[in-house]
Amino acid sequence: MNLREHIAEAKRKKIAIGHFNVSTVDGIWAVADAALELKVPVIIGVSEGERDYIGVRQAVAIVRSIREERGQEIFLNADHTYSLARVEEAIDAGFDSVIFDGAQLSLEENIEMTKKCVEYAKNHSAADNRDILVEGELGFIGKSSKVMDSIPVGAVVGDDQMTKPDDAARFVCETKVDLLAPAVGNIHGMIRGGDPALNTALVGKISQSTGIPVVLHGASGNSSEDIQKAIKAGIAIVHINTELRVAYRAALVKSLSEDPEEVSPYKYLKPAKIAMQKVVMDKLRLFNGLL
């Protein structure tokens, strides 16, 4: 099954595919190993900054090698891409999917730019015999992946500011995107003490109005109950990043402090990789109804 088919199956079953952002090869293996153990499909995401660090073509090569060696259903997404040039770069490199993030643009500008990205992807899908998915984003939810004391400035979390079903339907109709990431009370990063509640009723309305799979960004910090409700309402992919970064950093600090004389990276980095893997395992169980 390709990624499109896995997403369709997840939507039918009212479960969700886990999407986990990584910045290092440790992260790639943490996600891959967790998904392999649970025997579920998974998406690795790399934002512009993350793929610049790993390498655009290198990320593709690593994920492809894992897929081929293990026969594992693991896919690669170019997360939060802000220009057509960088969308083209990811598609040319061999990514399975790409997100054009025009959330801070006007609706008209977002539609215009997203449409160009979709056209480029469709042309390459036909020419290369690939099925490249394009995701659009509607509603700004911040850019941070930090643990914060308050909601990021400009993030739309009030009910009257969130993505409107009519706007979502227009956006999908005019751009022909395959997936849509709306603002439904979710934010990037995590709020100390817990993130705001998700508007799961709005998720259902957007799912109905667009007729395509809906993606939940910024799910780090949201309660398990909220995420489960959102999945039942129509979420087919759930993004996690900050919780992985927090787990990695905490385990790395602990590892270095417990043995300050150790200089072998594979030894002091391993606990950090395992800490990320545990987070991924817990989230995949939640998203796939395996609790």
User: Per-residue pLDDT tens for 29-43?
Assistant: 999 999 999 999 999
Active site residue 195: no
pLDDT at 142: 79
Tens digit of each residue's pLDDT (9 = 90 or more) over 48-57: 999 999 999 9
CA neighbor of 239 nearest in space, from 17, 10, 84: 17
Residue by residue, DSSP assigns 149-204 as: SSPPTT---STTTSPPHHHHHHHHHHH--SEEEE-SS--SSEETT-PPPP-HHHHH
* Active-site option among 79, 96, 101, 226: 79
Tens digit of each residue's pLDDT (9 = 90 or more) over 68-88: 999 999 999 999 999 999 999
From its phi and psi, is residue 205 left (phi > 0), alpha (psi between -120 and 50) or beta? Answer: alpha
Please give the DSSP secondary-structure letter assigned to residue 139. Answer: S
C-alpha to C-alpha distance for 85 and 185, rounded to whole angstroms: 30
Tens digit of each residue's pLDDT (9 = 90 or more) over 256-287: 999 999 999 999 999 999 999 999 999 999 99
pTM of this structure: 0.95
CB 187 within 8 A of CB 149: no
Structural element, H or E, at residue 239: strand 235-240
Looking at 55-64, 96-105, 182-191, which range is the least confident one? 182-191
Fold of 3-287: TIM Barrel (3.20.20)
